[in-house]
Amino acid sequence: MTRPASSPAPRRGRSLRSELMLWQLGTLLLVMLALGGGTVLFTERYLRAQFFDIRQSQAEGVLHGSDLPLVLQDTGADESTRDDWLTLWREQAGAALLAGWNERGELSFDALTPELAQAFIGERGQPIFADGEGIKAVGGQPYYWRGETLVAGQHEAGRAVVAFSVPSRTSLLRAILRQHVPLTLGVLTLALLSSWLLWRLLRRTLLDLEPADIAALTVRQGQLLSTVPDAVMLLDESGAVTVANAPALSALNLAQVPAPLHGVWPELARWQPQEEVRRWPLPLGGRVVLVNVTPLAGGGRLVAFTDREEATRLAEQLTDTRRFVDAVRARAHEYGNRLHIIAGFLQLGQSSEALRVIQEELDAEAGLNQALSGIAEPRVAALLAGKVARAHELRVALSISPESEVPPLTPVQSDALVTALGNYIENALDVLDGAGEVRVDIGLDPDGLSAEVRDNGPGVPANLNPFTAGQTTKGRGRGHGLAGVAALVQAVGGEVWHERQGGWTVFGVNLPLDSLGVPPTPAPIMEP
């Protein structure tokens, strides 16, 4: 539903391009922080575990893969010789420290720095760390160390400690981040490019409107629809109601939109006209409404409708006045012709002929009054009087059955009957073209009111249904009158029909008895 008219106008904020860029960059940064942070931490843990495994293997190789136990056990080797061997093995293994103590407690070692030696060797030359392994930081640099008791043959040869440098967590994180910087910059560049392309696409789709402009248009739309007294709604391609003003929501008994049309107005959903339609009668919730349908270029339809009774009441005075003026004009024209004839006869001294014309006119007027005496509905009587005068102008014999009877009708029923009779008679006059006869018969029967208009013209082609829109013999753009008659009569529960009876073409309309407000005739009571 559209925004109410009292809603304040939206304030203009950032442009659509800046909004998209901020949203995309913000979302991307959050995703990168979540995924990137997890990836970095996982990578750091993985690398530290890999370094730890490598250092374990290297320490294993120095302590058990060399002749270190034999050198420590060799009593003939002096301290300098042992130091040389430890230096060689430390350098070959890439260790930072290698220290050994024989069983007599004599120390031999080689270290990269004095601080490193002090961290693993006590002041008296004893090992600070016993058997085991771990990580010790020296001067801010972490080292993996491993100490063991060495055995040569079946005898204890002494103890040894070996240490390897391992990368710190800070250095690992820096290295990982340096590797991720190009990828991060590439992703940000791609995000900016995609944001710009998306902005270009949305700009074309939204007709170069900013979000504030779209919001303002929505407010204006709501204000416009709220000022329209008729019901107005928009249908999309699938037939759903997408926009509706308050009168439309009330008429359709809808709380909100969108809503499927077939659930609230099945007659309109089944109809679905493909061309523009004006003032087409359709039933809605037990009453008849006049529908205007306008197909939209982008798909969907604009539908406006108003209550037929209300429209009939508003147009009734104008319609009746127009018909009265038409009838008076036709009668005045006919009386003028008659008066000229009478005046001519009198000037010629043929008074008997003048009297004959006057008598014919009086008889015709009396016959018309008698034929209309049983028609209690004023609009129907006015229509028939006007059509009789028009038929005289066209030199077509139009007669109304003296037994014709029409009870008082509601405005909708009267409009349906007047529309049907008016179209039937006008079509008959048009077909006869100044040569022929038209007969009108209206009456009541047990089923309701029945009206027939027959003419002795050529009739309707066999392959043509005159009550279908567009099917006509009158040419392009015609053929909607009888289709409208059928829709209007069916909307009030009646039916229309036509047939050929001998040399006559008959068009009829039936209105049900209960819709006329006339009680049905009771069945006669049979005496036993």
Element spanning 400, H or E: strand 397-400
Angstrom distance (rounded) from CA 52 to CA 40: 18
Average pLDDT rounded to a whole number, residues 443-454: 90
| Residue 70 to residue 241: CA distance in whole angstroms | 95
- Quick: pLDDT tens for 176-186: 667 767 777 77
Per residue in 398-441, pLDDT tens? Answer: 888 888 898 988 888 888 899 899 999 999 998 887 788 999 99
Q: H-type helices in 255-307, by residue range?
A: 261-264, 266-271
Q: Give the chain's mean pLDDT.
A: 77
Sorted by sequence, the CB contacts under 8 Å of residue 303 that are 6+ apart come out as 232, 233, 234, 235, 268, 291, 292, 293, 294
- Name the maximum alpha-carbon separation found in the chain: 180
| pLDDT tens-digit readout, 116-128 | 888 898 888 888 8
Q: What pLDDT, in 10s, does the model give residues 306-336? A: 876 655 555 554 444 455 555 555 555 555 5
Task: For each of the domains in the chain, give its residue range(s) and CATH number, in order of start.
Answer: 40-171 (3.30.450), 227-307 (3.30.450.20), 311-516 (3.30.565.10)
Q: What is the pLDDT of residues 329-353, one digit of tens each?
A: 555 555 556 666 666 766 777 777 7
Residues with Cβ within 8 Å of 224's Cβ and at least 6 positions away in sequence, in order, are none
Look up residue 472 and give its two tokens.
């006509």
Q: What's the mean pLDDT in 164-188?
A: 74
Long-range pairs, 245-251, Cβ under 8 A, ≥24: 245/2, 248/305, 249/1, 251/284, 251/285, 251/289, 251/305
In this prediction, residue 442 carries a pLDDT of 93
In this prediction, residue 80 carries a pLDDT of: 82
d(CA 113, CA 168): 18
The H-or-E segment that residue 143 falls in is strand 141-152
SS3 state at 144: strand
Question: Is residue 174 a contact partner of residue 196, using CB atoms and an 8 Å limit?
Answer: no
What does the pLDDT read at residue 455?
Answer: 94
Alpha carbon separation from 513 to 51, 177, 375 (Å, rounded): 100, 90, 16
Assign 3-state DSSP to the chain and report helix, strand, coil percentages, each to 5.
50, 20, 30
Query: What letter would DSSP give residue 54?
Result: H
Amino acid letter for position 318: L
Helices marked H in 206-307 — which ranges?
211-226, 246-252, 261-264, 266-271
The reported pLDDT for the residue numbered 463 is 81
Q: What is the pTM of this model?
A: 0.45
